[in-house]
Amino acid sequence: MTTTAGPTPGTTTVFDLGVTGVRALNAELHAPTSRHYEVLRPQGAHAVAAGIDTDIAVDVRGHVGYYAAGMNDGGRVTVHGNAGTGVAENMMSGLVRVTGDASQSAGATAHGGLLVVEGSASMRCGISMKGVDIVVGGDIGPMSAFMAQAGRLVVCGDAGASLGDSIYEARVYVRGGVASLGADCVEKEVRPEHRAELAELLAAAGIDADPAGFRRYGSARRLYHFTSGNSY
Amino acid sequence: MTDPSLREQHRFDSLRESATFDRPTIAAIQRAAATGVYDIRGWGAKRALPHFDDLLFLGASMSRYPLEGYRERCGTDVVLGDRNAAHPLHLDIPVTIAGMSFGALSAQAKEALGRGASEVGTSTTTGDGGMTPEERGQSTHLVYQYLPSRYGMNPTDLRKADAIEIVLGQGAKPGGGGMLLGQKISDRVADMRTLPAGIDQRSACRHPDWTGPDDLAIKILELREITDWAKPVYVKIGASRTYYDVKLAVAAGADVVVVDGMQGGTAATQDVFIEHVGIPTLAALPEAVQALQELGVHRKVQLIVSGGIRTGADVAKAMALGADAVAIGTAALIALGDNDPRHDDAYRRIGSAAGFYDDFQDGRDPAGITTQDPELAARLDPVEGGRRLANYLRVLTLEAQTIARACGKAHLRHLEPEDLVAVTIEAAAMARVPLAGTSWIPGRER
């Protein structure tokens, strides 16, 4: 750990994961003595910057493994590279940004905050999301928004097969094509309030896209009660 | 024989019920034909299975030296999760309370479980749906379940917990998800689970962000990182391929493995699932112990066994076979007042009877335990329920100690397979102890 200045607001603390392990990094981030951190040479390490619960900023310079920024409740984490499985899983609040691509289960079960994937996200993006907002600059893989309960998923590219299977109350916006919709997921009308929230989400994500070009998907609510007519 | 009444009696006496199509089977077919949906119920497997009843202890005699009952010390404490965690659990008794959700159970029931467990120095466990303040407030040792649904999962409660239990499966339904029917989704339950009130909600059967044992190792690492390596991490499996599952759980880094046999209860699962998927607790336990022994971590990675624990004899037998502790669910609810004869009239009004009630899914529990109806739930006094549970836990412990002393053991953990025999061939084969009166363990060379 190298502190470029003292542990006071406005300073930056640098962790070189090629030298210092993830344990030391996370221990520091859970009781931060700085407001801004730079993480160098992450080398695909897992659980980088997981469990943050204060308003700190973390810039990770390189690719991370599984569960980066997992369960964060506040703070701003930027991965300047690609992220492995489960980036920002179960996030409660805060901002997580991936400048590259994300592997599967990005934003899984997350309750709040904003996850931005500037590239594409693999399968199961937003699985069981519970209130998070996710904006993906590129495509998403199959089975995304599976059992998505709440929150909004914005996809500027295409969506893979079985989008929104068994979806509850989450809202999904896709600009490109959708390979197929999952059980109980249907296309819905895009009304002015939806275009307005899309514009807000895209602006918050810093992605330049026209809200008019998106289609909306959500639950038909036909699977909310077990009946003999359920077939899925 | 000409007397018509005698003829009639003879005809009645000669009626023969089919063993294949017995009355419950006929009723099930008729119910399915009438409704078009499968039967969902609570409780665990009700079929007869090889169980701890099929084992007996060999009390001390000429070759073994017993301890004096009531007087000589017989320890009961257990440490769980000291493999990696900075703060393992140290419980006074080896009988813990299994995970049962707020949603499936009333807030009063969860509070009562916490009170009873804490009174005797053991742990209770959350369930699907998250941690309630009532439960945390009344539980000295609280294990926080990490389930596929992640309902109510948040890092604040994770840090409040004393241990984390990653749930892969449940004995009543290994390979199946969970469900909570709409009548139990009150506003509070819905809010905790981020779902609309009143809908039938499902709990996923697999975790959303990992897909195998290698991933599980990374997931455990993440949970340790978030909680700064302070808390033990349990892995709970439903008994099926127990030997392999336990080995993989240990390889993934579990501090404690929980094995739940098919007699373990559920709040709501398809009857066909409960009765036909999984293996009995008695079959699973020796498999788990073998896996731990082969890895050289028996007693280092602790083993908790659940599914049909009812008496101190069951506790002692499970520990003699190699468990470090047991967990109870159904028995704990009975101690609180479930299936109490004083509610018999109420049970009969909803088509059941005391001793048979298992419709935990429908939220009309007269005992106020498996319900979210405020009026019904108010029937359970958490203080009185906690006292009853504490009494029951004390009895389990005293019974287990009585047996251990008779076997010459100064601590429950000193019980061993050598103290046991089986009274059926099936139990001997499963438990891997000799058939009583012989030296024969089926499946092993003599």
- Please tell me the distance in Å from A210's CA to the nearest CA on chain B: 30
Partners of A146 on chain B (C-beta within 8 Å) are: 208
SS3 call for B286: helix
Helices (H), B238-299: 242-252, 271-276, 281-294
Output phi, psi for A193, to 5 deg: -65, -30
User: pLDDT (tens digit, 9 = 90+) per residue, A193-223?
Assistant: 999 999 999 999 999 999 999 999 999 999 8
The tens digit of pLDDT for each residue in B293-302 reads 999 999 999 9
Contact A30 B36 (CB under 8 A): no
A111: left (phi over 0), alpha (psi -120 to 50) or beta: alpha
- B155 interfaces chain A, CB cutoff of 8 Å: yes
DSSP string, B296-342: T-BTTBEEEEESS--SHHHHHHHHHTT-SEEEESHHHHHHHTTT-GG
Amino acid sitting at position A21: G
**Which has more confidence, B128 or A181?**
A181
The pLDDT score that the predictor gives to residue B69 is: 80
The whole-number average pLDDT for the span B235-259 is 98
What average pLDDT does the segment A95-116 reach? 98
Contact (CB<8Å) B209/A67 = yes
Q: Is the pLDDT of residue A8 over 60?
A: no
CB A161 within 8 A of CB A181: no
**How does residue A231 score in pLDDT terms, banded at 50, 70 and 90?**
low
**B210 interfaces chain A, CB cutoff of 8 Å:** yes
The string of pLDDT tens digits covering residues B140-175 is 999 999 999 999 999 999 999 999 999 999 999 999
Pair of tokens at residue B202: 């499902």
Contact B210 A86 (CB under 8 A): yes
- Interchain CB contact of B225 with A (< 8 Å): yes
B222 in contact with A, Cβ within 8 Å: yes
**B444 — pLDDT class (breaks 50, 70, 90):** confident
Q: Is 70 exceeded by the pLDDT of residue B446?
A: no
For residue B132, pLDDT beyond 60: yes
Domain boundaries, chain B: 57-415
What is the CATH topology of the domain spanning B57-415?
TIM Barrel (3.20.20)
- Please compute the mean of the pLDDT values over residues B61-72 and round it to a whole number: 87
A166: contact with B, CB 8 A cutoff = yes
For chain A, what are the domain ranges?
43-219
Arithmetic mean of pLDDT, B384-404: 98
Q: How far does chain B reach from its first CA to its final CA, in angstroms?
A: 59
- Residues from chain A that touch B40, judged by Cβ atoms under 8 A, are 226
Closest chain B residue to A230, measured at CA? B37
The complex scores an ipTM of: 0.94
**Quick one: pLDDT band at residue A4, thresholds 50, 70, 90?**
very low
Residue A55 has pLDDT above 70, yes or no: yes
* A16-34 b/e (C-beta count within 10 Å ≥ 16 → b): ebeebebeebbebbbebeb
Question: What confidence category does residue A5 fall into, taking pLDDT thresholds of 50, 70 and 90?
Answer: very low
Instruction: List, as ranges, residues 330-359 from B with C-beta within 8 Å of A.
Output: none
Shortest Cα distance from A165 to chain B (angstroms)?
12
Which pLDDT score is estimated for A232?
47
- Whether residue B445 is predicted with pLDDT greater than 90 in this model: the reply is no
Q: Which residue has the tokens 């809202």?
A: A171
Q: How far apart are CA B113 and CA B99, in angstroms?
A: 10
| pLDDT on residue B203 | 86
B136 touching chain A per CB within 8 A? no
pLDDT at B179: 78
Q: B155 vs A92: CB contact, 8 Å cut-off?
A: yes
Would an 8 Å CB–CB cutoff place A89 in contact with chain B? Answer: yes
Residue B381 has pLDDT above 90, yes or no: yes
With 0-12 CB in 10 A as exposed, 13-18 as middle and 19+ as buried, what is A191? exposed
Distances, alpha carbon B339 to alpha carbons A207, B103, B353, in Å: 59, 19, 8
B218 in contact with chain A, both atoms CB, cutoff 8 A: yes
pLDDT exceeds 90 at position A162: yes
**What six digits make up the tokens of A142?**
């199959």
Mean pLDDT of the A141-148 span: 98
**Does A217 reach chain B within 8 Å, measured CB to CB?**
no
- For residue A25, give both structure tokens: 């990094």
From A227, A223, A194, select the one nearest A211 (Cα to Cα): A194
Characterize the bridge pairing of strands A185-188 and B201-203.
Answer: unpaired
Mean pLDDT of chain B: 95
Average pLDDT for B38-62: 95
| B200–A contact, CB cutoff 8 A | yes
CB pairs under 8 A between A and B: 114
Q: Give the span between the Cα atoms of B431 and B424, in whole angstroms.
A: 10
Highest mean pLDDT of the ranges A6-15, A128-137, B178-187: A128-137
- Based on its alpha-carbon atoms, the radius of gyration of chain B, rounded to whole angstroms, reads 23
Q: Which residue of B has its CA nearest to A25?
A: B225
Q: B329 versus B203: which is more confidently predicted?
A: B329
A43 vs B197, residue with greater confidence: A43
User: Over pLDDT 70: what percentage of chain A?
Assistant: 93
- Which residues of chain B make contact with A226, given a CB cutoff of 8 A? 37, 40, 179, 181, 200
Contact call for A67 and B158, based on CB within 8 A: no
Q: Do A130 and B150 touch (CB under 8 A)?
A: yes
Fold for A43-219, please state it: Pectate Lyase C-like (2.160.20)
| Mean pLDDT confidence for A104-118 | 98
Which CA distances in Å does B60 have to B74, B321, B438?
15, 18, 18
Residue A227 has pLDDT above 70, yes or no: no
pLDDT for B2 = 66
Q: Cα separation of B317 and B312, whole Å?
A: 8
pLDDT of residue A230: 56
- For residue B230, count CB atoms less than 10 angstroms from its CB and return exposed for 0-12, middle for 13-18, buried for 19 or more: middle
Q: Quick one: average pLDDT of B368-391?
A: 96
Question: Rounded mean pLDDT of A118-138?
Answer: 98
Q: Which residues of B112-139 are buried (b: 16+ CB within 10 A; e: fewer)?
A: bbbbbbbbbbbbbbbbbbbbbebbbebb
Tell me what the mean pLDDT of segment A102-113 comes to. Answer: 98
pLDDT at A142: 98
Estimate the crossing angle of helix B213-226 against helix A22-30, to 10 degrees: 40
The whole-angstrom distance between B36's CA and the closest CA on chain A is 5
pLDDT digits (tens, 9 = 90+) for B4-16: 888 888 888 889 9
Chain A residues within 8 A of B84 when measuring between CB atoms: none
* Residues of chain A found within 8 Å of residue B225, distances taken between Cβ atoms: 22-23, 26, 47, 50-51
CB contact under 8 A, B209 and A124: yes
Give the model's confidence band at B61: pLDDT under 50 very low, under 70 low, under 90 confident, else very high: confident
